[in-house]
Copies of this chain bind each other. A is one copy, B any other.
């Protein structure tokens, strides 16, 4: 029943073809790699914006407003939401279901949520592949919305040209977490819900932490917004434009994309090796040796060596 993707239609921006292509990628269907290979030459034109931050910070609302901003200027927009608690992905449990009323019905905006299905593993790679699909389909602006500040989110941040960290006055934990080596992912910060109590203090806390950052050619600004009313969105878009110009003028955009592609090749290699390695035969060998390891008659190191020797002898 699985239909193959019409690549011609995909490249022309057809919504049905885009939807089908992202499903192929998301489900890891057998032809995912050949599809991505065939559209790769058409990628590299879309500008990728990463939006991350804790649940409830208003990332979806900012994403929606930014999409509206770019649409009003005639750009095609693609959105990948990988936040399991996001209203896009239907994962909101207690929070309000914010709707992207303004842009959901706009044919120039393609929105796709990607669910974590209980595990964040592999999701960041799939999200980046989905962004490649949108890029090849001609979307000039691609927004990748992700929750949190964990490893998966760092991976996605590494896949964006500009990364925005959204916080709210209540984000005490997240502001503290920035000290834990995570602040380097932000090209700038947005303190959303800036009409609430504690906003000024939160901005000061972020600035104080940024003060300890190593000097760099680009200094992350701390913007404020009230995305619900649209307040601050133009400034965010303008800051994205400034950052893009900075990356282009310094050659950093090309360097980032090159590093990203090299990393991607490394992932493709690891994945292929892993699939090749874990044949039913070696899966069986592992299971078979586990009893000896559990009684300390063998060790994980001995078993790994034996499996590797078996792999190399084939």
User: Does A307 sit at the interface, judged by CB under 8 A?
Assistant: yes
What 0/1 readout, one digit per residue, does chain A (107-133) give for beta carbons within 8 Å of chain B? 000000000101111000000000000
State whether A264 touches B83 (Cβ < 8 A).
Answer: no
User: Does A174 sit at the interface, judged by CB under 8 A?
Assistant: yes
| Stretch of A60-68, A70-78, A142-150 that contacts chain B | A142-150
User: Does A229 sit at the interface, judged by CB under 8 A?
Assistant: no
Q: A93 vs B208: C-alpha distance in the bound complex, in angstroms? A: 11
State whether B41 touches A151 (Cβ < 8 A).
Answer: no
Q: Contacts A176-B55, A258-B294: A307 and B265 contacting too (C-beta < 8 A)?
A: yes
State whether B83 touches A180 (Cβ < 8 A).
Answer: yes
User: Does A230 sit at the interface, judged by CB under 8 A?
Assistant: no
A265 / chain B contacts, CB cutoff of 8 Å:
286, 293, 300, 303-304, 307
A23 / chain B contacts, CB cutoff of 8 Å:
none
**In this complex, what residue of B is CB-closest to A293?**
B261
A209 / chain B contacts, CB cutoff of 8 Å:
93-94
User: Does A47 sit at the interface, judged by CB under 8 A?
Assistant: no
| Stretch of A1-9, A32-40, A218-226, A240-248 that contacts chain B | A32-40
A269 / chain B contacts, CB cutoff of 8 Å:
277, 304, 307-308
What 0/1 readout, one digit per residue, does chain A (250-286) give for beta carbons within 8 Å of chain B? 0000100110011011001110111001000000001
Q: A36 vs B304: C-alpha distance in the bound complex, in angstroms? A: 13
| Stretch of A14-22, A165-173, A189-197, A231-239 that contacts chain B | A165-173
Q: Contacts A300-B40, A304-B269: A179 and B93 contacting too (C-beta < 8 A)?
A: yes
Pick the contact of A41: B33, B299, B303 (CB < 8 A).
B299
Q: Contacts A173-B170, A179-B94, A299-B40: A262 and B277 contacting too (C-beta < 8 A)?
A: no
Q: Which of A288-306 contact B (CB under 8 A)?
A: 290, 293-294, 296, 299-304
Q: A308 vs B179: C-alpha distance in the bound complex, in angstroms? A: 39
What 0/1 readout, one digit per residue, does chain A (88-120) give for beta carbons within 8 Å of chain B? 000101110000000000000000000010111
**In this complex, what residue of B is CB-closest to A282?**
B269
User: Does A84 sit at the interface, judged by CB under 8 A?
Assistant: yes
Q: Contacts A170-B172, A172-B170, A173-B55: A37 and B302 contacting too (C-beta < 8 A)?
A: yes
| Chain A residues within 8 Å of B, Cβ to Cβ | 33, 36-37, 40-41, 44, 54-56, 83-85, 91, 93-95, 116, 118-121, 147-154, 170-174, 176-177, 179-181, 208-209, 212, 254, 257-258, 261-262, 264-265, 268-270, 272-274, 277, 286, 290, 293-294, 296, 299-304, 307-308, 311
A-B contact pairs, 20 of them (CB 8 A): A54-B177, A56-B173, A84-B181, A93-B179, A93-B209, A94-B179, A119-B181, A120-B151, A148-B177, A151-B151, A173-B173, A257-B294, A258-B294, A261-B293, A261-B300, A265-B300, A268-B304, A269-B277, A269-B307, A270-B273
Return the 3 tightest CB-CB contacts between A and B, nearest first: A150-B150, A151-B151, A268-B304
